[in-house]
Amino acid sequence: MAELILHHYDISPYAEKIRLIMGLKRLAWRSVHIPVVMPKPDLTALTGGYRLTPVLQIGADIYCDTRTIARRLERERPTPSLFPPAAAASNRGLACWGETLFMDLVAIGFGMGAFPPDFVADRQKLVPGGINEAAIRAVVPSKTDEVRAKLTLIEAQLADGRTFLLGEQPSLADLAVYHPLWALRTFPASQPLFAQCRAVPAWMAKVAAFGHGTPSPLDSADAVDIARNAQPTTEAFVDTGELTGRKVGDRIRVFPEPYGRDPVEGDLVYADAHEIALRRTDPRAGEVVVHIPREGYVVL
């Protein structure tokens, strides 16, 4: 069995989401620390251009975006499950809603000057048209109002004494709602927001207690070597529900729709309702298959 290799950096909220899934599922994994800002030559050798954090590598199969990573880790260790079968849509809906807190976090951080200049310059390139810092500063009070409204709803969700957001068992929704709050709590100005809550801090403590599993360090160049010396295990498949006429071998490009629009280009290997995978060849990493979610991505 190939090792789980997570490419991440410590302060990434989305990486914390996946680290906690590793903990919940008690997985051992290799930890590759990547730069916070570009360039990231070893990472993009594997992904073909995708630069967002985190990325999961299993041999020569590369999984981009936490949605795809979470599904892959669920296959790796199905219990405890991230996806309660009787709550598939509500789990996903709550996760999507909770992750809107991430953009609130970004706006508040930019508006308060919480990020260093190199980070700001790098993230300017992620957003089409750049980031208007003066405009962001002006909306910090509104974004703070949004966070307060969301915290009030989370508090109400937990008010009946349930352990986690959907009941007594954790789900992907817990990790998706938690990770932006985990980062937001590092801003001193956010403390009065959390002080108004009782159930939310207790729930956050339960999620944090999942831990991070069992990581061990790995150099990023060694991760590229692992990919080059492996073969992708993804089998060719396009499900019968595919309505676009795409077929195995089609040359396509995929990129995130809202920001970080660096495209990944390759030959279609796999497609189902939730995931699309492209085969590509890199001079350093060799032949890899890059897995990307359907939701929130443009496929051309």
Q: Cα(17)–Cα(139) distance, rounded to whole angstroms?
A: 27
Q: In angstroms, how far is CA 269 from the centroid of its own chain?
A: 22
pLDDT of residue 268: 98
Same fold: 4-80+215-299 with 86-208: no
Q: In angstroms, how far is CA 217 from the centroid of its own chain?
A: 20
DSSP 3-state of 47? helix
Q: Which two tokens stand for residue 177?
A: 């709602």
Q: Cα(20)–Cα(25) distance, rounded to whole angstroms?
A: 9
Fold of 86-208: Glutathione S-transferase Yfyf (Class Pi); Chain A, domain 2 (1.20.1050)
CA dihedral 132, 133, 136, 137 (to 10 degrees): -150
pLDDT of residue 285: 98
Residue with structure tokens 């410590």? Answer: 10
How much is the pTM? Answer: 0.96
User: pLDDT per position in the chain (300 positions), as tens?
Assistant: 689 999 999 999 999 999 999 999 999 999 999 999 999 999 999 999 999 999 999 999 999 999 999 999 999 999 999 999 889 999 999 999 999 999 999 999 999 989 999 999 999 888 888 888 889 999 999 999 999 999 999 999 999 999 999 999 999 999 999 999 999 999 988 999 999 999 999 999 999 999 999 999 999 999 999 999 999 999 999 999 888 999 999 999 999 998 888 999 999 999 999 999 999 999 999 999 999 999 999 999
Q: What is the DSSP string of 98-153?
A: HHHHHHHHHHHHHHTT-S-HHHHHHHHTTSTT---HHHHHHHHHHHHHHHHHHHHH
Q: Are 147 and 104 in contact (CB under 8 A)?
A: yes
pLDDT of residue 189: 85
CATH of region 4-80+215-299, choose from 2.40.37.10, 3.40.1280.10, 3.30.70.330, 3.40.30.110: 3.40.30.110
- Give the start-to-end residue ranges of the domains of the chain: 4-80+215-299, 86-208
Scored b (16 or more CB within 10 A) or e, 137-152 reads: eebbeebbebbeebbe
Contact residues for 76 (Cβ-Cβ < 8 A; gap 6+): 4, 25, 27
Q: Are 55 and 5 in contact (CB under 8 A)?
A: no
